[in-house]
Amino acid sequence: MIGDMFPLDMTGLSHSVSTGKIDRVEESARRGELLRASQEFESYFLSYLMKVMRETVPKGEFTSNPMGDMYYSFYDEEIGKRAAQAGGIGLSAYVLDTVARNEDLTRSPASGPSFLKS
């Protein structure tokens, strides 16, 4: 009897709840992608930093040939990766904070990048 007097439309509520869950999953995936990209950037930066610092050191017996150079290039790359995964020098966190400040991470990807908006 009361249901006849005050009908409730639950379809909108159900859709709203499921859309909210999808938005949270998409936001989480976006943050995960940003975290991975920022760690890769920091890894590359640290690897390059190691390479440039190594160039300031005089070449020895081991590094005076192409194989030694190749070994150290792989070594520098791995050091950069591991340092970034362990927290690095804070570059990854800085990039994430900057992106979070400049981008609305909860917006839908269909709305396009913010720099295209006028």
pLDDT of residue 3: 55
Radius of gyration of the chain (CA): 25
pTM of the prediction? 0.62
Spatial distance between the Cα atoms of 35 and 94, rounded to a whole number of angstroms: 11
Residue 73 identity (one-letter amino acid): S
pLDDT of residue 105: 53
> Measured on CA atoms in the order 22, 113, 104, 85, is the torsion positive or negative?
positive
pLDDT of residue 89: 93
pLDDT-based confidence at residue 109 (cuts at 50, 70, 90): low
pLDDT-based confidence at residue 106 (cuts at 50, 70, 90): very low
Mean pLDDT, residues 97-116 taken together: 63
pLDDT-based confidence at residue 115 (cuts at 50, 70, 90): very low
Spatial distance between the Cα atoms of 92 and 81, rounded to a whole number of angstroms: 12
pLDDT-based confidence at residue 52 (cuts at 50, 70, 90): very high
CA dihedral 90→55→70→59, nearest 10 degrees, is -140
